[in-house]
């Protein structure tokens, strides 16, 4: 009888030990726990202003490289074609997620497929990509990820500056992209009236210029990803019957929105 009791006690001790080990393993593998040494990264796509009917990008792969580590490919929501012009004025879409080692971000790499097009006056044109970009578009972001935390990073694709018409009528894609996180995201927002003004809004600080085209439905605009600084905000009327308007020294702070309210352009 004593031997059976000893065996039972030993078995219970082993089970408790095994359970403890299992919990430890789960803890170190859980990116929500600082002990894991990992963080969760979500990559989102947004766009700046562009005077086209549509801009379709064929996004096939997104990788992030942490300092001293090998690249990690994000699990994309759906590889394929995205219409950039649907993601303006603070609107974005989730591209994908990954669990990555904590530390400093060394590089982000965006790989495009061959099915990229632009629509101008209801006519679709292929977008030719320079041969030097076959390995992907490389972005730098000076941010650090702390283990156990979750982060959002935005890829801001400036379609207006990225597409160029060549002399023979073709369209060339030379991507102008920047990346920013919630820690480096200052924003200016507001409304522009009348809706027929066809205005473009620019935030200018020195040689840096950021823009937005207000929504035609309600005049709402938002310029995101602004470095912390004071900006001159220009409301550039798209019709000759209305005057441009400029707000000087508009302050922008990381992690906050500067609301300019409703701006009405007058004759």
Per-residue pLDDT of the chain (267 residues; tens, 9 = 90+): 445 554 444 444 444 444 444 444 555 667 666 777 889 999 899 887 778 888 999 999 999 999 989 999 999 998 999 998 888 887 889 999 999 999 999 889 988 888 999 999 999 999 888 755 667 888 888 788 888 888 888 888 888 888 888 888 889 888 888 888 877 788 999 999 999 998 989 999 988 888 888 888 899 999 988 888 999 999 999 898 999 999 999 999 887 889 999 999 999
**Does the global pTM surpass 0.85?**
no
Contact call for residues 177 and 249 (beta carbons, < 8 A): no
Nearest to 156 by CA among 106, 237, 205, 210: 210
Q: Which residues pair with 200 in a beta bridge?
A: 236
Taking CA atoms, 146 is separated from 63, 73, 135, 208, 235, in Å, by 19, 19, 29, 30, 39
Measured distance CA(49)–CA(220) in Å, rounded: 13
H/E segment holding residue 141 = none
How far, rounded to the nearest angstrom, does the alpha carbon of residue 199 sit from its chain's CA centroid? 24
Measured distance CA(191)–CA(259) in Å, rounded: 9
How far, rounded to the nearest angstrom, does the alpha carbon of residue 5 sit from its chain's CA centroid? 62
Contact call for residues 179 and 65 (beta carbons, < 8 A): no
């Amino acid at each position: 009888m004593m031997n059976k009791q000893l065996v039972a006690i030993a078995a219970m001790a082993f089970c408790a030990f095994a359970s403890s080990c299992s919990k430890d393993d789960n803890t170190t593998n859980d990116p929500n726990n600082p002990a894991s040494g990992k963080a969760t990264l979500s990559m989102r796509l947004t766009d700046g202003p562009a005077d086209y009917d549509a801009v379709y990008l064929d996004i096939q792969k997104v990788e992030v490289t942490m300092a001293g580590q090998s690249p990690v490919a994000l699990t994309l929501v759906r590889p394929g074609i995205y219409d950039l012009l649907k993601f303006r004025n603070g609107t974005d879409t989730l591209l994908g997620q990954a669990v990555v080692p904590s530390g400093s971000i060394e590089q982000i790499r965006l790989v495009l497929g061959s099915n990229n097009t632009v629509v101008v006056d209801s006519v679709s044109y292929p977008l030719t990509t320079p041969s030097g970009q076959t390995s992907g578009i490389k972005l730098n972001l000076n941010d650090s990820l702390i283990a156990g935390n979750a982060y959002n990073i935005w890829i801001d694709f400036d379609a207006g500056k990225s597409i160029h018409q060549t002399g023979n009528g073709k369209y060339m894609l030379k991507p102008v992209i920047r990346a920013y996180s919630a820690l480096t995201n200052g924003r200016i927002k507001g409304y522009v009236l009348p809706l027929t003004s066809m205005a473009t809004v620019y935030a200018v600080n020195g040689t840096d210029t950021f823009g937005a085209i207000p929504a035609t439905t309600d005049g709402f605009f938002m310029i995101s990803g602004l470095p912390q600084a004071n900006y001159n905000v220009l409301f550039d009327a798209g019709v000759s019957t209305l005057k441009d308007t400029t707000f000087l020294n508009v302050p922008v702070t990381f992690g906050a929105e500067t609301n300019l309210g409703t701006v009405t352009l007058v004759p």
